[in-house]
Structures are given as structure tokens and as C-alpha cells.
Amino acid sequence: MVVGDFAIDLDTVVIGSGPGGYVAAIRAAQMGQKVTVIENTFIGGVCLNVGCIPSKALINAGHAFQAAQGGSVFGVQSQGATLDFAKTQDWKQHQVVEKLTGGVGMLFKKHHIEVVWGTAFLKDDHSLRVMQKDSAQTYTFKNLIIATGSRPIEIKGFQFGPHVLDSTGGLNLPAVPKEFVIIGGGYVGSELASAYANLGAHVTILEGTPSILPNFEKDMVQLVTKSFQKRGVTVITSAMAKQAEDTADGVKVTYTVDGQDQTIAADAVMVTVGRRPNTDNLGLDIVGIKTTERGLIEVNAQGQTNVPNIYAIGDIVAGAALAHKASYEGKVAAEAISGKKVAVDYRAMPAVCFTDPELATTGQTLAEAKAAGIKAKASKFPFAANGRAISLDQTDGFVRMVTNENGTLIGAQVAGPGASDLISELTLAVETGMNAEDIALTIHPHPTLGEAIMDDAELALGMPVNI
């Protein structure tokens, strides 16, 4: 790299290469822009390297371990199933994470996207400084997309270290802990609790609110809680974590419930109480970019900040911190820079939690619809009446549709086998304004989990066949 006080001129710059940044970069290149990505850690961001992807790999490994240990309900007997967790971690890193991040790198080359390594700091609305360990370089840009993502929140009394882990540390444990404490029962905490319970750990979840997974409806959460109980996971709600102390064998966690202090001895504790936007060291104040009290960047429907040539997407703007939301916003911002008339529409934003069973939701819940003054109703078809679910011995859960007075689908929830995949059909239905009759008249193959969607549509019409 050339180093000096002169500036190197660039066209479109994207800071960050996570699922928001790399998608924005590729779409911008497809629209004819010359794109440069600035990255300070790794291609693929948190999601591909230490988040969405590796967590799903461990979840799948846990399912495989459980399947190897017991299939007696199907007449399958197995003995002596063991877990080589070092091999699991090696597979997760080299066969899953590196394959995907390498693929993003190849896509960058295909679209002639340049990568500049370092940390970016804004100088003004058309220039920034990229700093490395022993050098720095100034770049000018025509347009900028900020996609710097977020980082785990560290709470008082739980300074990250060898035994007190953030989600990254929790994903990279060298061995399955015998006793594992997870502070926070949201998406990440509940998913990794499921994974490590299936891998053989005794997991305790400490959740500060009255319920885990507060973003999902109660009847969905109850299924996960029931599953946790079956697998020996201890869930303690309305519990305030106070401190973690290193011991000779691991860590002692102190928490308070009903005003009484309690302690748990564990091999490790993982803190998953939320994430903080990475906006505090970008120089936003120098440029005059408006932010909220939480540090989120204020943007319009195109992802444009109050500085016209600077855009922001993903975890650093309002809304759920979801990888697919960031990717969607990245495409909108890139296309807006190219002059296309685009705008974000979150009417059908799916959210999935990969617990046992899986939970998924899209659009509005019945409660949200009624709160918005919509005359709506919900229909709920159980997987216990679905042939494929019965053959899988996974009958807990349901498909639920929320329809308005015209029968138009405005929301849906799935709890049970394949929820993470089934929600896509329902999201499409909400996005395109399909009604229950449209779905009921769509022939679904038999026997499949997807049939439950058709059956639920018939239920919404008052003419159920299979229930």
C-alpha cells in the first residue's frame, strides 16, 4: 500500500464485509459501481465467522450426536456413541466457516471488488483514513455504505476472560463443559443452550425477564421450555446476574432471585445479553451523521443518512439485528446509489430461532394486528395431525396463520420441525398479499411438513380436512 498524505480516489466504499456489507458490495458492483471494501478483521463478518453459521454447525452436530445415541422409537439400537469435540470444532471451522468465507472472497474477485485491510475513520463527508498497525492511508469516496455490525455487550461483574465468554468464545470452546451457565435467554443464549445440551453439557440459563425468548409468542416458547426440561436444561427466569469469580476448577456465578443471592459452580459462563452497534469509533460526529442515544445511525427508507452520499445498514440502524435484514438493506442501499427507486419494506421480515423445536415468525402476530386496529383472526394447525411430522416422531408444534377480515395473510408463526424453512413460503405469501384461499388451492406434495401450511389455510377458511 502506498502511504502518505495524499489521498487515493475511490468510487463506492463499503466499511465492513458481513452479510450486510458483502452483499451491498456485490450488488453495487452488479449495478456498475467500482467498489472497495474496508475490513479490519475477517471477510464475512460476525455472521459467517463467529455467529450464525458456526452456531448452526454446532447445533447440527448436537442433533447428530443425539441421533447416534438413541433411535429406539424407530427400532434402531446403537451403543457406544462418542463425541470427538475437537474434530467437531475442526469441521465447523475448516469445512463450514472457511468454505463460506472463501466463497465470499471468490465473489469479490469475480466482481472486481478491492479489499483494503484496516480500520476506517471518517475525516469528512468524502474522505476517510484507513489505519493499520504501522501505517495509514487517506481515501476519498463518492459514496459510502457503513456496515460495521455490532459486538457483544459486556456486563458489570462479568469481564470477558478464560472462563467468562462472549458468544464467540462460547462457539470456540475446546471441550464440551460439564456445567455451562448462559446469561441471557434470547436467540443466541437459547440456541447455544440447545446445542450444548445435545452435546452432553448440563446447561443453566439465567434470564433477567420473566421468560426466555421474549420476541416469540408464549405458546411457542412453552414448547422450547418443555424441550429444555426433557434434556435437563435448567431455566431460571427473573434472575439478575451479579458476578463471576474464577475458581480452581472454573468459575462461580452469583445471581439474585426474589432478593436472595444464589451461586452456581460451572466450567464456563457465557454472556449473551445483547449487542452494541459498532458506531462509536467511526468519526460520525466529525461528519455530522445523526445517531440515536443507543448509537444507532438514523437513516431513511433507502438507508441514506442525513449526509446524502453516506448510507448505513444492518445492526447499526433501527430494527432487529438479523443477518438477512442487513443483506436486504445492503441491496436497497446499493441500488439507491445507482439511482433506482427503491425503499425498504419490513412487512414480511422473518425471524428464526434454531432451538428444539425451531421457532419462526413473519409479519404480524394476532396481538400486533389487533393493537394496530386490524380485524384479524388466527388459525392454528398442529403438527400432531401431519403425516410427515408423525413419521419423524416430531409432532410438537404447529403452523399458525394470521389473516385479516378479507382473508389476506398478514402474519404467520411456525413452531416445530422445519420451521426455519417453512417460514419462507409464508413470508412470500405475506409479501405478495396472498389470501388463505390462494394457499389452500396450491397443491402441496404429500407427505411433507409443508402440507401443514395448506391444511392451516383450509382451517382459516373454515373447511379443514385433516383436523
What 3-state class would DSSP assign to 96?
helix
Closest listed residue to residue 409, CA positions, set 450, 368, 320, 348? 348
Q: In whole angstroms, what is the distance from residue 128 CA to residue 13 CA?
A: 10
As given in the structure block, the three cell numbers for residue 335 are 441500488
Sign of the Cα pseudo-torsion (257, 261, 265, 271, in order):
positive
The H or E element spanning position 286 is helix 284-287
Q: In whole angstroms, what is the distance from residue 312 CA to residue 292 CA?
A: 13
Q: In whole angstroms, what is the distance from residue 244 CA to residue 456 CA?
A: 48
Q: Is 60 exposed, middle or buried (0-12, 13-18, 19+ CB in 10 A)?
A: middle
242, 263 in Cβ contact below 8 A? no
Cross-strand pairs, 35: 12
Indicate if 94 belongs to the active site: no
The H or E element spanning position 423 is helix 419-432
Q: In whole angstroms, what is the distance from residue 303 CA to residue 146 CA?
A: 10
The 8-class DSSP code of residue 443 comes to -
Alpha helices in 153-261 (DSSP H): 167-171, 187-198, 218-230
- Cite the active site residues: 446
